[in-house]
Amino acid sequence: MAGTRKAHIVGIGESEFTRWGGIMDRSQFQVTAEAILAAVGDAGLSTDDVDGLASFSNDGNEGPLMQAALGIPDLRWSSMVWGGGGGGSCGAVAQACAAVESGQAETVVVYRGLCQGQGRRFGQAGLSRTHASFIYPFGLFAPSQMLALMVQRFFHETGIDPAAMAEVALSFRANANRNPRAIMHGRTLSREQYFAGRWIAEPFRLFDCCLESDGAAAVVITTAERARDVKSQPVEILAAAHGSGPGWSTGPLGAQNMPDSDYASTNNRRIAQELYAKAGVSPDDIDVAQIYDHFSGLILMALEDFGFCGRGESGDFVSDGHIRWDGGRLPLNTSGGQLSEAYVHGVNLINEGVRQLRGQSTSQVKDAQTCLVTGGLGVAPTSAIILGTV
């Protein structure tokens, strides 16, 4: 692969973000199309330039239908990452990279649209699925319950005080308060309010759980050669990886039978090593990160799995302010993340990573040149990318 085909992000786009049920005047498919058009427009391109579409985890906005709706002339690439919910968000980016770097497509859009008021609410018990017989009889009907077991084990093994999760929720809410796109833009959160929040599934309180929202987000990926001619500031995808550790199968969303040695993890230990090696960087080289925050406790686990602190040190890492914007060693989820901006299965986190490297964030990290973005944590498969300035 000559350097001219190295994958770059050249466009990002979003619809409005609302609480679940907030978008009822147009379909989820229409809202997703809006985000795709916004991303293509951000790059200064048109749908005539698009020849690939990628999404993940049984997306309801099918690529061939999207091709027809948007008038894309030729669809040379159409793919979807299996399973894992938002774990496939960065995996879809990895597939788009594979397409453009191998010459199977020139410009691929990665997208996700969720209008939970029109269909399934992801925070509620879903319909029966593969391996559900292994979890439903034990009362594990919703993701908060399924993942709570892993986080409880993590706290038991490390001795970290679960109260450290408060810093995650409070930091991300403060970031959202600076972001007018965020659902929680006008709503502050105090430490007292956090601890007064009702239990959802111990150790998760209300504010440890991501939002349930309506909205869509999209990313346009093309080659380095094509990126030279777009109107936006391109961002290079230094590395992308996805997959799963041995024995995870469907992970906590369907089995809870992961290996004991890897159970209290985000299923990212191999992926982290692969990413850093591909990108030629170390954890110390990462300036800012957007880590998938479906539940705050997994942020602590990810900080350790991605090497930002040692085993059992993540509680002190966040309590000492290292994840805060403006002054922290590793500012996290600077748009507010899924806890406070919007829950769009992680594509909005990719967009915020791009904004950071363009210098356009509402919580801008000074001179940011590298950004880690992860897909869903503690699921199978999962994924992550490292972005860099051009």
Hey, which residues are catalytic here? 292, 343
Check: CB of residue 17 under 8 Å from CB of residue 215. yes
245 φ, ψ (degrees, to nearest 5):
-75, 170
Cα three-residue angle 94-100-106, rounded to 5 degrees: 135
State which amino acid sits at residue 251: G
Distance CA 168, CA 321 (A): 10
SS3 state at 356: helix
* Two structure tokens written together for 328: 């922290």
Alpha carbon distances (Å) from 24 to 15, 19, 36, 131? 13, 11, 19, 33
Greatest Cα pair distance in the chain: 57
107-115 and 370-374 strand pairing? unpaired
Q: How many residues does the chain have?
A: 390
Print the SS3 string covering 245-302: CCCCCCHHHCCCCCCHHHCCCCCCHHHHHHHHHHHCCCHHHCCEEECCCCEHHHHHHH
Check: CB of residue 185 under 8 Å from CB of residue 316. no
Check: CB of residue 365 under 8 Å from CB of residue 330. no
Alpha carbon distances (Å) from 197 to 203, 204, 339? 12, 9, 14
Distance CA 187, CA 165 (A): 19
